[in-house]
Amino acid sequence: MVTGTANITKSGRGFEAILGKLQALAKKEVLVGIPQEAAGRPEGDAVNNAELLYLHTNGVRSSGMRSEMDPSINSGMKYSAAHSLYVQTHGSPAYSIPARPVLQPAIKESRSAIGKQIAGAYRAAMHGDMAGAERGLELAGMVAQNAARAWFENPKNKWPPNSARTIKAKGSDSPLIDTGEMRKSITYVIRNMG
């Protein structure tokens, strides 16, 4: 989320109208992810795309492993370091889906480009162009959506490679890229806060 502040030093004719438009724009938020209505998977799949993205973002670990690793992760230790510490102490976990986050790192990586679109939305609102402001929010959403979709193949994601068992079953060593359905279901929505 990109936030900021502004100081008003002058007022005059039309000031309240501009302020009202800025306040209306400030009540909107751009959300990126997989909305429930877009979360479907092929019939017979046990989880939908939103649930699958959550599982891959957090990894799948046994409850004992989670309870031992989470304090380290919550204190700021990277998942990979906490996982290494666990494996060195206990050996390989029974559940072997490592965390491969998508939304947060992709949006963080693209925050400058997203921020430019949001700034454009506010400039348009200051000039009384609410249609332009809405377009700015749409563009910010598209930039964030495209960044998240591209993150699956971005070398900066530093995802652990697929296991040999997964490569054999899937026929590919690319994590989270099989049919592309989960990636394609990532989108954005603009809504009023509250």
Q: Give all strands (DSSP E) within 34-185, no chain letters.
A: none
**What's the pLDDT at 9?**
62
**What's the pLDDT at 103?**
93
pLDDT per residue of the chain (194 residues) written in tens, 0 to 9:
555 565 656 555 577 778 888 888 889 999 999 887 766 766 666 677 787 787 777 777 667 777 887 888 888 877 666 756 665 555 555 456 777 889 999 999 999 999 999 999 999 998 889 999 999 999 999 999 999 999 999 999 888 888 888 888 888 878 787 778 889 999 999 999 87
**What's the pLDDT at 133?**
93
**What's the pLDDT at 176?**
80
Enclosing H/E stretch for 181 = helix 181-185
* Residue 160 DSSP label: P
Q: How many CB atoms lie within 10 A of CB 54?
A: 13
Instruction: Give the distance from CA 9 to its chain's centroid.
Output: 36
**What's the pLDDT at 24?**
84
Q: What are phi and psi of 31, to 5 degrees?
A: -110, 135
